[in-house]
């Protein structure tokens, strides 16, 4: 099946990089964002920018979404625009937003009934992975739709894992980000302890990274964004709070008790003043901050 015209909805930190990657790899890419300031960087990357959703929904072979919330995805596809009415071909929607599995499954069923498909395909790797086409994608949906979307998935990712049926990608991503959220809290505390006990955080992390306490937080995030005091990863504390909330809601829905992660969630909630939603999420591990949780 033809897979040439790709629509990208949401051209933020992640969506713009993904759209640019697809354009650089030969796809014809049309991008939509409610924020007009995304036009110039999109056009500079070879993406046709449109403010008319129908330009994408009526002609794209596949649609990549990169929006804050699951309900934003449902809104653009079924309320602001109407993919459900399209009849000329099956359109695969690749939703890379970090979303909740219940909303994904409901939307997947609605699109499926209209002859289309929704893959939940949340990503790990940040804006640099999006811009370089080296993301990890965790994909939920039918195997035949995963196969249909393969040219787009492989252009965007170093690894696209078909996790299971609809919603499974969202579950994997929420599990991943719940761990990162808790690791960041623990990492800030660990570095604060080290400094207080006379060993610099930098020296302690160098040791941890050769020992059993290491993680992506200690190996990637701390050296890149915390120790050099740059805090410019391109992922906001507000979006991480959303992910923690979704993970804890999933725990409540499934009746699982997560006392440690629930406490990490409380810490993320209680630090809104010192680490506002617009701040970089790695601020949570800022061991220099006096009023950290």
Catalytic pick from 25, 90, 173, 290?
Answer: 173
- Minimum distance of ligand NAD from residue 185's CB (angstroms): 18
Tokens of 112: 């499926």
Question: Are the C-beta atoms of 38 and 16 separated by less than 8 Å?
Answer: yes
**Measured from the CB atom, is 204 or 250 closer to ligand NAD?**
250
Of 292, 242, 269, the closest CA to residue 68 belongs to 242
- Tell me: does residue 20 bind ligand NAD (CB under 6 A): no
Q: Is 173 a catalytic site residue? A: yes
**Measured from the CB atom, is 208 or 264 closer to ligand NAD?**
264
- Tell me: does residue 102 bind ligand NAD (CB under 6 A): no
**Measured from the CB atom, is 52 or 75 closer to ligand NAD?**
75
Q: What residues are paired with 84 via a beta bridge? A: none
**Measured from the CB atom, is 237 or 264 closer to ligand NAD?**
237
- Tell me: does residue 157 bind ligand NAD (CB under 6 A): no
- Tell me: does residue 178 bind ligand NAD (CB under 6 A): no
- Tell me: does residue 179 bind ligand NAD (CB under 6 A): no
Q: Which residues are catalytic?
A: 173
Binding footprint of ligand NAD on the chain (CB under 6 A): 9-15, 32-35, 38, 66-68, 72, 75-76, 97-98, 123, 126-127, 234-235, 239
């Amino acid at each position: 099946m033809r897979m040439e015209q790709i629509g990208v909805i949401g051209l933020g930190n992640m969506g713009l990089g993904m759209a640019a990657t697809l354009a650089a790899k030969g796809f014809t890419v049309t991008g939509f964002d409610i924020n007009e300031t995304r036009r110039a960087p999109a056009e500079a990357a070879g993406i046709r920018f449109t403010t008319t959703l129908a330009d994408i929904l009526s002609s794209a072979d596949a649609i990549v979404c990169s929006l804050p919330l699951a309900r934003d995805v449902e809104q653009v596809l079924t309320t602001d625009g109407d993919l459900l009415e399209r009849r000329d071909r099956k359109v695969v929607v690749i939703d890379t937003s970090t979303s909740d599995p219940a909303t994904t499954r409901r939307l997947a069923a609605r699109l499926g009934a209209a002859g289309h498909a929704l893959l939940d395909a949340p990503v790990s790797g940040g804006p640099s992975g999006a811009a370089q086409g080296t993301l990890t994608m965790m994909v939920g949906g039918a195997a035949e739709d995963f196969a249909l979307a393969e040219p787009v998935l492989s252009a965007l990712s170093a690894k696209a894992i078909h996790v299971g049926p609809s919603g499974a990608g969202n579950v994997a991503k929420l599990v991943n980000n719940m761990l990162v959220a808790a690791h960041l809290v623990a990492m800030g505390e660990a570095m604060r302890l080290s400094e207080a006990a006379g060993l610099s955080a930098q020296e302690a992390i160098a040791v941890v990274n050769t020992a059993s306490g290491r993680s992506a937080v200690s190996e990637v995030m701390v050296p890149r964004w915390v120790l050099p005091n740059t805090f410019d990863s391109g992922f906001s504390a507000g979006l991480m709070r959303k992910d923690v909330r979704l993970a804890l809601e999933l725990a409540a829905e499934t009746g699982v008790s997560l006392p440690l992660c629930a406490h990490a969630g409380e810490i993320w909630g209680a630090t809104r003043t010192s680490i506002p939603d617009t701040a970089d999420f790695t601020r949570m591990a800022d061991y220099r901050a006096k009023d950290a949780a």
